[in-house]
Structure 1
Amino acid sequence: MKDFANQWRTIWIAVYYVGSTFGLMLLGSVANAEQRPNVILLYTDDQSFASTGVTGNAQVHTPHMDRLANEGVLFTRHYNSTSICMASRASVMTGMYEYKTGCNFGHGPMHPETFEQSYPVLLRDAGYRTGFGGKFGFPVSAGSSDSVGSYEFLPVDQFDAWAGGTGQTSYQTSKNQYLASYADRYPHSSRAYGAFAQDFVAECKTDQRPFCLTLFFKAPHRPFTPDPFFDDVYRDVQFERPSNYGRTAGKHLSLQARLGRQSLTFFRDMGFDSDHYQETMRKYHQLIHGVDYAIGMLRDALREHGVANNTVIILTSDNGFFCGSHGMGGKVLPYEEGSKVPLIIVDPREPGKGQQCDELTMTADIAPTILDLAGLQSPKQTDGISLVDFVRSPERTSDRQSIPLFQMWGAPTTYAMSVVTKTHKYIYWCCGRSMPPAEELFDLTSDPTEMINVVGEANQKAELEAMRSRYADQLSHLKQTAVPYNHYQPFGQLFDANITWEAKRDLVTEKMWKQYTSLPKQLGLREEDYFDFETVLKAAERSIDGRRK
C-alpha cells in the first residue's frame, strides 16, 4: 500500500512539473503572440501607379493613401507578376508565379493543396485570427472550372470572418450576401468594406490572437459606378492627359500588342477616347477616393481599439490601368501603365517615416513579407522575397537584378513574357500567325513612357544581349516548375524564341483563339478578315472615328 502511494505521488509530481512546463510554454506562446504584429493587406483593383497624390498626381484627392506613405515606405518600382485579376490574386496569396499557382481565367482553379500554402491559411494555423472581405477573385477546387460565380469554390471556412463575394462582385452592397447587413447605411461596397473592417478590428479586441485582415476592394474596376456620396470630389476637375495618350502614341508598339482588346475595343468601350475622357477619369478616380475613405474608417478603428501601434498596413493593387496611354484601356499587357502599381507598407514599429524604396518588387513578394512579419518561414516553392528589411532600411540595395512579367491569358496574339531591370524592360511577343514574333526593348531611364523601341539600336546591343540572357533564365524556371495541369507547360515552348512559330503553333488551341476572334467580330469584320491584321487595326480606327461622329 505504501509502495502504491509512493507511485501515485511520483506520478502526481511528474504531472505537476509537466503541467507547469506546459503552462509556461503556453504563457510564452501567448506572450509571443502578443508581440507579433497585426497585418492588414489592402488590395485595390485596376489602380494605376499615377492615381495618388503621393505618386505625383496633384489632381487627385487621396489623403489617407498619402498619409500611409508619409508614415511608412513607398515602393516606386512595384510590378504585377501577372497583370490581371484572377492570376494576380492567386500570386499575392501564395507568393508564387502564375504558372505555379496554376490559376487564371481560361486556365483553371487553384488546387486546394496550393491554397493550403497561402499566407491566410499559414497565419491562421500559426495562431492568427483571419478575416477576408471583397472580391476574392479565384476558385479553389480540384476540378477544372475557373468559375468564381459560386460560394462553393470559395474558401469561406478557411477564415474566421468572411465578407467576400462571388465573381467580379458588385458595387451594390446588398448583392453580397455576406455584406448585405451593411447595405442600409453603406449602399456602395467600398464604404461597406470599411465598416466590415471596423467591426473585424473591434471583434479582435476580445481575442488574444493577433489578426490578419485581407480586403480585396472591387474599386476602381469597371463598371465605373462610384459612390454618389463623393459626387462633389471631382465635379469640376479637368484631368491632364498623360504624355503618351492616344492611339498615335501606340503605333510604334509591336503588332501583337495592338491586337489585344486593350487596343482594339477597350480604349473606345471604356470611354478613354477624347470625347469621353474627362467623364471617365472623374468616375475612375472617384472610385479610388471611395477606397481612400474606407482606409480612413479602418484607421479610425485601429486607433479607437488601441492596436494602431502594432498593426502593419500594406496597400497595393492587383494590376495597373492604361487610362488611354498608348491608345489603350484595361491592363494585362506588360507596359508600365498596365503592370506597375503603387505599393505602400507602414510598420509603426519602425522609425523610418515617409521614405521611398526604389528597388524592384513584385506581386509575389507580398505573401513572404506578411509571413516574415508574423515570424514564419515562407514555403520552399515561394518565388517572391520578404520586403521587411526594406521597410526597416529603405535605402538598402537588393541582390535582385530583374523580375519577370507574364501574359498567358486572352488573345494569343498578346501572349508575352518580359523581364524588367532598374533601367530596362525586354518583352518577347511569341505569336507569329501572319506576322513574325517580336522583341521590344525600352530604356526606362531615358524613356519612362516607353515611346521608343531600342531593340535595333547599335548602342543598346550589349544591353539587349544581357536582357535576353535574363529572359532565358526566367524561361528555364518556367519550364522546370510550371504545374502539369491547366495548360501552363506549353508556354515553356511558346515563349522559347529558338523554336519557330510553325513548330509550336498547334499549342494554341481553337478555344484559345476564340479570345482573339471575338474582337474583330465586335468591330463588324467578316470572319475571313479576322487574321488580316492590318485590316483589323484599320477597323479599330474606324470604330473610334465613328463613335466620335
Structure 2
Amino acid sequence: MNETHLTGHHGDGNWLKLLLISMGLLVSLPLDIQAQNPKPNVLFIAIDDLVPTLGCYGDTTALTPKIDSLASQGLTFLNHHCTWSVCGPSRAALTTSLLPEETEVTGFKPIRDILRDVITLPQHFKNNGYETGCRGKFHDHRTVGDPNQPKDADGYFPNGDDIDDPQSWSIPYSKADTGVYNPPGKPAWDNADEPDASYTDHKILTAGLALVDQMAAGNKPFFLAVGFKKPHLAFIAPKRMWDLYDREEMPLASYTDLPIGVSARTSDPLTNNNEILGYEPFSNDNHLPTTEEQKDLIHGYYACTSWVDYLVGELLAKLATTDDPVQAGKKLSETTIIVLWGDHGFHLGDHGKWAKHTGMERGSSCPLIIYDPRSPNNGAKTMAPASTLDIYPTLCELAGLPIPSQPIDSSTPTGRPLRGRSLVPILVDPTTSVNTGAINVFNQGGNIGYSYRTERFRYIEWVNSSNEVTERDLYDYTLDPDERRNVVNDPDYAAIAYQLSRAMRADTTTQGCARLQDSSPINTGSDAYLPFSQIVANSPNEIQITWPGSTGVSYKITSSTDLTALPWASYAPTTDNLSGTTTTLPTLGDKRFFLIGFGTNTPPTWISDPLTKPLAVQNTSYSATLADSANDADSGDTLTFTKVSGPAWLNVASNGTLSGTPTTSDVTANYFVIRVTDSHGAFSNATLQISVLSSAPPTISTFEASDDTYAKENDPALIYGGQQSIQLKHDSGRRIGYLKFSVSGVGTVQTARLYLRATPSNDVGESDNVNALAVTNTTWTEGNLAWNGRPSTGAVIGTGTATPDAWFFIDVTSYIAGNGTFSIALDELGGSRGKIFSKEGGSAPYLEITWQ
C-alpha cells in the first residue's frame, strides 16, 4: 500500500473545513460587540435542580412558554453541563470559573475558606463599575457568609443565608423567602390551592422586581442575579400549575435499570437515593417510589417547572417596561443580556435514581440560554459542549470587561487563570464549537470521577488517591441515548476511549483537575482504527472524510494510492499533512482505499484559555509574545502562531510576537481568537484578551478612610475607634490597624497607593516597616471593631517604611481593582509599639488612585 499520512486536529472545537468548492478557510467573524458602549446590563436567572424539561429543549410534555420565548430570541445550549452535580460546588464553579479541586468546594464548604481573595463573577462586575445585587439563590448559602467570623460546628461561615457573599454585591443581599407557605410534615409533593404570594419563589420574584426598580433609578449598568428555588424537592407549586397537566400522561423513565457493564464507582451514586428518602411518604418506611408515586413526583416536577416559567415571564416583562438607567430612550429589554441557567441535573427515575449526585447525563445536563439583544440568535440551538465554567469568561467578553486572575493560594492573590472558555464564538456562529467536551467531577469512596461529555460520547475515569485510574465508563448517546450499556471494554470503542482519555487531560479546562493531571491516560496503539470515521461519496469524483474531533490527538489518512499530487486546498507537500476534521478529496475517478487512524504527533496546547497579556496604550506601539503561552510535547516541533479574528490593530507574527498600535476606537478590553499550529498541521485555538488604555493624561483621585481604628490583643473587648492615632505592634500585646475606604467614579486603575503619616517621635511615631494586608470583611465600623470578633486578615498586598512625623506610602495596586469598598489591615514588623495618625488626628489615611 502506498501511504500518505494526513494529520488533522479538532483544535479546541474550532473546526477547520477544507472544501473542494470554496478552497478556503472558514472561520467565525469577530463579534466586536464588546467594543460597543455603553456597557450592557446583565440579568442572571438561576434555577435550582432544573433539567431540560422545557419546550425549547424538545420536551413535548413541558408547558414553558415564557422560557421558550426567551430561547426563541437567544441561543440554547443543548449540551451544557454543570461541573459538580450538587448545588454548592456547581454554584461555586459558576461564580469563580474554577474547578472544585481548586476551591476545595466539593460539598458544602465556604468558597473563601481556601481562596480568601477569590473574585466572584458579580464581584468582578462590581469592581468594573457595575451596580450588583441579588435576590433569591445565586450562591448556596452554605458556601458563603462572613469569612471573618469563626466557622460553626458544621464548618460553615455564619450568616450565609442572610448576607450571601458581601464582597459580590454593591447593594447588600436581602433574604426574600420568609413567611412562606409550608405544608405540614415533609411531603415530597404538594398541590394546595394557596395564593401565589405565599410561595417562596413568588417572594423572590417580588424582591427581584423591586431590585430592578432600584437599579433602574441609579446611574450605572447593573448585574442582577435572581435565583428561583423550584423545581428542587419538595415539588410544591400552586394548584393551577398542577392543573396544566394530566397525571396519567406523565412521561415515566424509559429505562430504570443500571447500565449493563457499569463500573462499580459509577453505579454506587446511581443506587444512592438518600435525597428522595428524606421526604414523605418514602421516609416513613424507606421505600422507593411505586409507579403511581412516580406519576405524582413527575407531575409535581412539571408543575414546579411551569411555575418557575411563569415567574421568569414576570421578570422579563419588567425589563420591557422599565427605562435603562444609562442609555436614554431605551428599555431594559433592549440593553440587558439575559442568562438562564440550571445549576445541575436531577434523575427522575432513570436508572432507578431520584436525586442528582451523579456524573451521568441526567445528573450533569442542565439548561443554559444566553440572549444578547445587541446580537440576537433568533432561536438558534447548538450541540457544542458547554460548561458552567464557561459562563464567567463569556459574560466578561460580552460586557467588554478584562479577564481577571484568581488567587493561587491564601498568600498569592493572583496568578490562577479562569478555567472556562468564552462561548462568544458560538454566539456568533452556532455551528462552531470551543470545547471538545465538558468536564463533570464527582467523588465516591475517596475516588474522584471525571466525566467528560463530548457531542456524542461520555467518558468517565475514576482516579484513586494514588493517582491511578481504577475504573472507566464510556457511553455512546447516538446509539444509546438512555445509557443502557457501558461500552468502554468493547473492542470497537477502544480507539474512542484512547482518544478521550487523552483529550480530557489535554483540555485547558481540566488543568484545574489535579488528580486527573497526575494520572496517566490509557494505552492503545497509535494506529488504532477509528470506527466512527465516515467516508461518504459526495459525487462520482469526490468523497468526504470525517473523523471524531478531539483536543490532544491527531489523525492520519492512509490511502491505497499516492495523494501528494492531488490539488489540496491547504495541503503542505513538504510535511504531507492536512489539518481538519472534515476533508473533501477529489478522487478523479480512481478507486481508492482509505484508512483513518491516530497519528503519532501530539498537537500543541495553550497554557490557559482565555489568555491575557500586558496592557496596551492608545497610539503607542505594543509588543508582547505568545511564545511562552503554548506547549508541545513533541521534541523538535516548530510552532507557528496566527490571529484568527479580532480587532485589526494587533499583528501576530509566526514566531508569536505581538505588535501593533491601537487607536482611540480600541480603548476597551479587546478580544482575539489566536491559533498555534505545529510542524504537522495540528492546531489549537484560544481566546486572547488585551486591554487598551487611553493615552490621555491619567486622572488622580484621592479617597480618605471612612473608618479607621485598631484592635488590641491585651484588651480584647475594647473599641478604639475615634482615637487620634492608630497603634501598631507585632509581638506580644499585638495591635493591628484597620482601614476602610469607599472608592467610586474611577475607571481602569493604573496605580493605587495607601498614604499614612506617622506621629512624631515624642508620641511613639512608627519607625519600622509596615505591611498592608487584604481584609475581605467590609461590614465592620470603627464603632464596633474590637480584638474579639475582629476581621481576619488575608495576603500581604504591600509594604512601606515609616518615619516619625512623615508621610509614607504602600503600593496596593494589586488589591484596588476599581470601584468598591475595600478594607485593609496594618501590621508593623519591628516588634515595638508605633503610632500613625487617624482621621480624627488631622492626617487621615488616604488612597491615591491613578486611573483612566
CA distance in 2, matches of 1:312, 1:221: 26
Q: Which amino acid aligns with 1:88?
A: S
Tell me how far 1:475 sits from its aligned partner: 11
C-alpha RMSD over aligned residues: 3.3
Tell me how far 1:126 sits from its aligned partner: 1.1
Tell me how far 1:304 sits from its aligned partner: 0.8
Tell me which residue corresponds to 1:390. 426
Tell me how far 1:375 sits from its aligned partner: 0.8
Deviates more, 1:141-150 or 1:461-470: 141-150
CA distance in 2, matches of 1:34, 1:171: 42
Residues 1:34 and 1:195: Cα distance change in structure 2 (over 3 Å): farther
Q: Which amino acid aligns with 2:449?
A: A
Tell me which residue corresponds to 2:475. 442
User: Structure 2: which 5+ runs fail to align?
Assistant: 1-34, 183-193, 280-287, 323-330, 406-416, 523-852
Query: Does the CA contact (< 8 Å) of 2:80 and 2:387 recur in 1?
Result: yes
CA distance in 2, matches of 1:124, 1:471: 34
Tell me which residue corresponds to 2:440. 405
Tell me how far 1:66 sits from its aligned partner: 0.6
Residues 1:470 and 1:171: Cα distance change in structure 2 (over 3 Å): farther
Picking from 428, 449, 452, the partner of 2:461 is: 428
Q: Which amino acid aligns with 2:245?
A: Y
Tell me how far 1:441 sits from its aligned partner: 0.9
Tell me how far 1:156 sits from its aligned partner: 3.5
Deviates more, 1:343-352 or 1:81-90: 343-352
Tell me how far 1:222 sits from its aligned partner: 1.6
Tell me how far 1:253 sits from its aligned partner: 2.5
User: Structure 1: which 5+ runs fail to align?
Assistant: 1-31, 175-182, 483-488, 499-549
Residues 1:417 and 1:396: Cα distance change in structure 2 (over 3 Å): closer
Picking from 155, 168, 177, the partner of 2:165 is: 155
Residues 1:302 and 2:312 aligned together: no
Q: Which amino acid aligns with 2:384?
A: E
CA distance in 1, matches of 2:391, 2:437: 17
Query: Does the CA contact (< 8 Å) of 1:193 and 1:294 recur in 2?
Result: no
Query: Does the CA contact (< 8 Å) of 2:120 and 2:168 recur in 1?
Result: no
CA distance in 2, matches of 1:366, 1:127: 20
CA distance in 2, matches of 1:69, 1:476: 27
CA distance in 1, matches of 2:178, 2:235: 11
Tell me which residue corresponds to 1:315. 340
CA distance in 1, matches of 2:201, 2:424: 29
Tell me how far 1:239 sits from its aligned partner: 0.8
Tell me how far 1:426 sits from its aligned partner: 1.1
Q: Which amino acid aligns with 1:392?
A: V
Residues 1:134 and 2:136 aligned together: yes
Q: SS state of the match for residue 95, structure 2?
A: helix
Q: Which amino acid aligns with 2:61?
A: Q
Tell me how far 1:334 sits from its aligned partner: 0.9
Residues 1:417 and 2:450 aligned together: yes
Picking from 56, 59, 62, the partner of 2:61 is: 59
Q: SS state of the match for residue 253, structure 1?
A: coil
Tell me how far 1:219 sits from its aligned partner: 1.2
Query: Does the CA contact (< 8 Å) of 1:219 and 1:288 recur in 2?
Result: yes
Tell me how far 1:98 sits from its aligned partner: 1.3
Equivalenced residues, count: 441
Residues 1:345 and 2:370 aligned together: yes
Greater helix fraction, Structure 1 or Structure 2: 1
Q: SS state of the match for residue 428, structure 1?
A: strand
Tell me which residue corresponds to 2:382. 357
Query: Does the CA contact (< 8 Å) of 2:393 and 2:420 recur in 1?
Result: yes
Tell me how far 1:252 sits from its aligned partner: 4.2
Tell me which residue corresponds to 1:82. 84
Deviates more, 1:94-103 or 1:321-330: 94-103
Tell me how far 1:80 sits from its aligned partner: 0.6
Residues 1:472 and 1:275: Cα distance change in structure 2 (over 3 Å): same
CA distance in 1, matches of 2:445, 2:424: 38
CA distance in 2, matches of 1:296, 1:192: 15
Query: Does the CA contact (< 8 Å) of 1:250 and 1:327 recur in 2?
Result: no
CA distance in 2, matches of 1:262, 1:225: 25
CA distance in 1, matches of 2:373, 2:173: 27
Q: SS state of the match for residue 326, structure 1?
A: helix
CA distance in 1, matches of 2:381, 2:500: 26
Q: Which amino acid aligns with 1:378?
A: I
Tell me how far 1:157 sits from its aligned partner: 5.9
Tell me how far 1:298 sits from its aligned partner: 0.9
Tell me how far 1:351 sits from its aligned partner: 4.0
Tell me how far 1:417 sits from its aligned partner: 1.3
Deviates more, 1:253-262 or 1:192-201: 253-262
Q: SS state of the match for residue 352, structure 2?
A: coil
CA distance in 2, matches of 1:278, 1:443: 29
Percent identity, aligned pairs only?
Answer: 23
Residues 1:154 and 1:173: Cα distance change in structure 2 (over 3 Å): farther
Q: Which amino acid aligns with 2:43?
A: I
CA distance in 1, matches of 2:50, 2:509: 31
Residues 1:413 and 1:161: Cα distance change in structure 2 (over 3 Å): same
Residues 1:241 and 2:221 aligned together: no
Deviates more, 1:144-153 or 1:77-86: 144-153
Tell me which residue corresponds to 2:200. 189
Deviations along 1:286-333, whole A, 9 cap, x unmatched?
222221111111111101112101111111111001100111111121
Query: Does the CA contact (< 8 Å) of 1:262 and 1:330 recur in 2?
Result: no
Tell me how far 1:185 sits from its aligned partner: 7.1
Deviations along 1:383-424, whole A, 9 cap, x unmatched?
0012223223222333x222321103xx42774112222222
TM-score scaled to structure 1, two decimals? 0.72
Picking from 208, 211, 231, the partner of 1:220 is: 231
Query: Does the CA contact (< 8 Å) of 2:259 and 2:483 recur in 1?
Result: no
CA distance in 1, matches of 2:381, 2:270: 35
Q: Which has the higher contact order (CA 8 A, sep 6+)?
A: 1
Picking from 27, 32, 41, the partner of 1:38 is: 41
Tell me which residue corresponds to 1:48. 51
Residues 1:421 and 1:171: Cα distance change in structure 2 (over 3 Å): farther
Tell me which residue corresponds to 2:672. none
Q: Which amino acid aligns with 2:297?
A: T
CA distance in 1, matches of 2:298, 2:310: 18
Residues 1:460 and 1:392: Cα distance change in structure 2 (over 3 Å): same
CA distance in 1, matches of 2:460, 2:303: 33
CA distance in 1, matches of 2:391, 2:509: 24
Query: Does the CA contact (< 8 Å) of 2:269 and 2:357 recur in 1?
Result: no
Residues 1:441 and 1:124: Cα distance change in structure 2 (over 3 Å): same
Tell me how far 1:230 sits from its aligned partner: 3.0
Query: Does the CA contact (< 8 Å) of 1:46 and 1:221 recur in 2?
Result: yes
Q: SS state of the match for residue 446, structure 1?
A: coil
Residues 1:413 and 1:235: Cα distance change in structure 2 (over 3 Å): farther
Trace 1:505-516 onto structure 2 (pairs within 5 A): none
Query: Does the CA contact (< 8 Å) of 2:270 and 2:351 recur in 1?
Result: no
CA distance in 2, matches of 1:96, 1:324: 31
Greater strand fraction, Structure 1 or Structure 2: 2
Residues 1:466 and 1:490: Cα distance change in structure 2 (over 3 Å): closer
Residues 1:96 and 2:132 aligned together: no
Query: Does the CA contact (< 8 Å) of 2:103 and 2:115 recur in 1?
Result: no
Residues 1:211 and 2:222 aligned together: yes
Trace 1:448-463 onto structure 2 (pairs within 5 A): 448-463=481-496
Residues 1:260 and 2:269 aligned together: yes
Find the structure with the greater CA-based Rg. Answer: 2
CA distance in 2, matches of 1:284, 1:395: 32
Tell me which residue corresponds to 1:470. 503
CA distance in 2, matches of 1:395, 1:261: 34
Tell me how far 1:72 sits from its aligned partner: 0.8
